[in-house]
Amino acid sequence: MSMLDAKVVAITGASSGIGAATAVELASRGAAVVLGARRTDRLDSLVARIRAEGGRAEMVAVDVTRRTDLEELVAVAVNRFGRLDVLVGNAGVARTAPVADLDLDDWDAMIDVNLRGVLHGIAAALPVFRSQGRGHFVTTVSTSGLKIVPTQAVYAGTKNAVRTLLEALRQESTDGVLRTTSVSPGYVQTELVDYIEDPEQREQHRRAMAAFGIAPDAVARAIAFAIEQPDDVEIGDITIRPARQG
């Protein structure tokens, strides 16, 4: 029997990449998954796949910049499966450019999704976790927050803000009710780089990803490992990247 058999897990950014891989991995281990993303056509297909393979899955249209969407995601989990054990905050956007370019719209997008979106998830799920006496926040951060490089200042800033937020939340929650896990992936084969507007930088990241990026399944397995630990064990930080990444 898997340690995930009785778990109910909600996942944002679940329509592709790490989010979709995590949904499949956790469902295959027995968890009930509630999937949130903006691209509902992809969620439809993913839910159908999980159910066809014998898993339990529901979906909700979620834009993490809207707090009511996160409240709905949590409500669906509780109403459908009776509880929510884990919220995987995976939705994120990446925009790269020198700070001097003053791409304020891109800054706003990253702050709204990468930081405010995580806060919206915490606000929606924390009261449920507290009332249950147990809950786990797993949040996708990035190695970009560990190794600071030019053109990623704002992106790395949002990821480090989330890392700080989760650590503070952990320290405020040492009564055994709440666990937090920050997962920092390196180069992973996802669609994230497709939204980098600068063609030269986009191509540079695509080449690096093609050369040594790891599959999203690797990150999904790391997330499953953190969730599967006994309730009195917390995996606070996981860094997972290609062995060849500098």
How far is Cα 105 from Cα 91, in angstroms, rounded to an integer? 18
E-strand spans in 99-203? 135-140, 178-185
How far is the C-alpha of 222 from the C-alpha of 219, rounded, in Å? Answer: 5
Between helices 17-28 and 216-228, what is the axis angle to 10°?
Answer: 50
- For residues 13 and 141, the answer to whether their CB atoms sit within 8 Å is no
| CA 100 to centroid of chain Cα atoms | 29
Given the residues 58, 155, 163, 241, the one annotated as active site: 155
Measured distance CA(74)–CA(244) in Å, rounded: 38
| φ, ψ at 118 (rounded to 5°) | -65, -40
Give, for 52, the enclosing helix (H) or strand (E).
helix 40-52
Q: How far apart are CA 15 and CA 17, in angstroms?
A: 7
**Residue 142 contacts residue 159 (beta carbons within 8 Å):** yes
Q: Is 187 considered catalytic here?
A: no
Candidates 212, 210, 223, 217; CA nearest to 180 is 223
Question: Do 142 and 238 touch, CB atoms closer than 8 A?
Answer: no
Nearest-angstrom CA–CA distance, 221 and 188: 13
Cite the active site residues.
155
